[in-house]
Chains A and B, each alone.
Chain A
Amino acid sequence: MSTCSQVRRITSVDEAVAIVREAAGSSSSMGRRGLTARGLGRSYGDPAQNSGGLTLDVTGLDKIISVDATGDADPVGGEPTVDLQAGVSLDTLMKVLLPFGLWIPVLPGTRQVTIGGAIGADVHGKNHHTQGSFGNHVRSLDLLTADGEIHHLTPGGDESDLFWATVGGMGLTGLVLRATVAVQRAETAYFTVDTDRVGGIDDLMTQMTARDADYTYSVAWFDAVTSGDRMGRAVLTLGNKATVDELPRTLRRQPLAFTAPSFGTVPPVFPNGMVNALTARAFSEFWYRKAPAHRVGEIQNITQFFHPLDIAQDWNRVYGPAGFLQYQFVVPFGAEDTFRQTLEVITSSGHYSCLNVLKRFGEANPAPLSFPTPGWTLTADFPIKPGLDALCRRLDELVLSVGGRLYLAKDSRMTAADLRQMYPRLDEFRAVRERVDPRGLFTSDQARRLEL
């Protein structure tokens, strides 16, 4: 739906402070409609939109202040860290860190995400079951609150409740200006990957449960079009960071080299309805068949392993002007029957999703609005067409019936009442927000829609 907002790009901390103070003291429409932080705009819904108000584009806060590659600043653990501004993208950071032999601990499905966004949505990756979400790796952050003050927050410090409300807080506690993030040592920019084709959903879930713990990274693509016995047939990929020894001779000379191949940009020529029964079936068949039935120890680069979609920019255009809706939920372990039922509902719905991901989450972190909780998470992309609202509501009901939840960074349509049920610690979050921003200066279309 169309909305309008004024966007201002901020390039310095002083500028950010001045804008927040001005807006806080203003009774104009901009003051009333509040402020929203926006990074690279990769949320699927409205969390970085602010109709009628002011949207602050923070991508100008793009300085990497220091990299502690040796871990000197941490005499106990010797943990390497990077100190950087909130507008730096994970893509930039990754390219800066690799030559130091360092690796970002959590990478979501795209690298076009800012540090501020990664904290605000508490993003997760294929290693959630072993290493948690992004917030687990943030050692400190500077938060500009509605009163114009900057708080230096740590996970266990004086205002640890504000730190954890900011992690996963969708930008509603204030503006993240700067953060110190723990990073990992890496010998290479490659991964050793085991791939298996799995014939159906039950087998897939059994295999993931049995094998996940042996790998840092684990994820499955599954077929959400085919029903019957082969419902949920999947390609399971399990991987670890590769050591230099594991690389073939040709790659050993430059083990940390990274090139991002691009096949160019998808032009905006696709009409609606190109992702349909026919193309989705063909794609799903192809994607399943192209995967090896069983392969062990393949060396894959970053793009192959993490971001196969990044080789074509603006790939979303194949969905046409109507676009698509991303739906991601998690249901707790033990709710496998309900999980299977969601898949039955999807495959029999007449809505076709090609890019479907299944993953097991590990332990949650202390953030009250953080999405990942122990259980099964499913992601699907549906082209927008009539009846999709009814399908999503049916899925909501199933997810709610077993105490599951939807991901705020992907949500664009859930209701305030459902959110309250999904996030039982919402009041805790609201109390912190009420303390630091009683007028609700920091807000968003999503915050208004969901009464966050």
Chain B
Amino acid sequence: MDAVGAPQTLLLLGGTSDIALAVARKYASAQPLKVILAARATERRSAAAAELEGLGCTVSEVDFSARASATHAQTIEECFADGDVDVAVVAFGILGEAEQAWTDADHALELAEINFVAPMHTGVLLAERMKAQRHGTIVALSSVAGERVRRSNFVYGSTKSGMDDFYTGLGYALDEFGVNVLVVRPGFVRSKMTEGLKAAPLATTPEQVAELTVAAVRTGKEQVWAPKLFQLVMIILKLVPRPIFRKLPF
């Protein structure tokens, strides 16, 4: 990270996520950098790598599978093999099928493993590396859905809630080691994750989330909502009494 807040190396865990790639593009538009794409070996990953290389970045691809927890240590080691990582974005996750998720145990397990277990497991491994280099920022892509769970997607919401709390606490723990953790809480983002769904109020785009994220990393913030208005909205929603909240139509 240099004096004007530009990272030299960016790690994207879940390197094909729309928000993660928007973050990479945002940084690259200012100054080309090294980007490590950790994701499953898919065409989508190759395409992302090619696109970022087209923007002048030096891209390396590392295999990463959220549910294969036995491989996580090896993945993180590979990500740090070429030197320090200035910013690591934990961007992987799935939305799942809300009604199936609370009625089908396998699907619930899948959500829990991808959205909560794997972020926690890789988070501890990331923290170990960041601690050793004594600098850096971990960006955790959480969701406003985790701030107060709703009837309509409480399984997803609860996984994000756990993930959000873990990274918030990790930020407290890593503070003395010169490492910052930024928890990003987007609302409804129009992306491949929400394709085909009806946009919720205050819907945003990966580019807008990326812009807020990059600004928050630069100023060393610990949490940011996207759009910003969600901070206020969530404060109010959290004050709504439960008997009323459970009947709200979303």
CA distance A415 to B32 in the complex (A): 9
Bound CA–CA A32/B131 (angstroms): 13
Whether the pair B5, A52 counts as a contact (CB closer than 8 A) is no
Contact indicator A413/B6 (Cβ below 8 Å): yes
The reply to whether A393 and B84 contact each other, CB–CB distance below 8 Å, is no
Interface check A5, CB cutoff 8 A:
yes
Chain B minimum-CB-distance residue to A29: B132
Per-residue contact bits, chain B 154-197, to A (CB 8 Å; 1 contact, 0 not):
00000000000000000000001110100000000000000000
Contact between chains at A389 and B31 (CB < 8 Å): yes
B side interface size, CB within 8 A: 21
CB atoms of A52 and B4 under 8 A apart: no
Q: Does A325 lie at the interface of the complex (its beta carbon under 8 Å from any beta carbon of B)? A: yes
User: Smallest Cβ distance from A331 to chain B, in angstroms?
Assistant: 22
B223 surroundings in chain A (CB, below 8 A): none
Interchain CB contact under 8 A, A3 and B3: no
| Chain A interface residue count, Cβ-Cβ cutoff 8 angstroms | 28
Task: Scan residues 365-393 of chain A and give those whose CB is less than 8 A from a CB of chain B.
Answer: 384, 388-390, 392-393
Q: Which of B5, B134, B135, B220 has the most CB of A within 10 A?
A: B134
* Contact (Cβ within 8 A) A45 B3: yes
Interface 1/0s, chain A 392-418, versus B by CB < 8 A?
110000000000000000001111100
Which A residues, 170 to 198, have Cβ-Cβ distances below 8 Å to chain B?
none
Contact of B178 with A51 in the complex, beta carbons under 8 Å: yes
* A412: chain B residues within 8 A (beta carbon): 2-4
Q: Is A2 an interface residue (CB 8 A)?
A: yes
Tell me if A2 and B178 are in contact (CB < 8 A). yes
Q: Is the interface of B mostly helix, strand, loop or mixed?
A: loop
Q: Knowing A45-B3, A384-B3 are in contact, say whether A51-B30 is a contact too (CB < 8 A).
A: no
Contact with A along B81-106 (1 / 0, CB 8 A): 00110000000000000000000000
Contact yes or no, A52 B132, CB < 8 A: yes
Q: Does B133 contact A (CB under 8 A)?
A: yes
Query: Any chain A CB within 8 A of the CB of B8?
Result: yes
For the complex, is B1 an interface residue (Cβ under 8 Å from A)? Answer: yes
**B4 to chain A: closest residue by CB:** A389
* Nearest-Cβ distance from residue A170 to partner chain B, whole angstroms: 16
Contact partners of A33 in chain B: CB under 8 A: 132-134
What mask results when residues 410 to 437 of chain A are scored 1 for a CB within 8 Å of chain B, else 0?
0011111000000000000000000000
Interface centre among B4, B83, B178 (most CB of A within 10 A): B4
Task: Please indicate the chain B residues that have their CB under 8 angstroms from the CB of A448 in the complex.
Answer: 83-84
A sample of 25 cross-chain residue pairs with beta-carbon separation below 8 angstroms, ordered by A number, consists of A1-B3, A2-B135, A2-B220, A3-B134, A3-B178, A4-B135, A5-B134, A29-B132, A33-B133, A33-B134, A45-B3, A46-B3, A52-B133, A388-B4, A389-B4, A390-B30, A393-B30, A393-B31, A412-B3, A412-B4, A413-B6, A415-B31, A416-B8, A448-B83, A448-B84
Q: Give A contacts to B, CB under 8 Å.
A: 1-5, 29, 32-33, 45-46, 51-53, 325, 384, 388-390, 392-393, 412-416, 445, 448-449
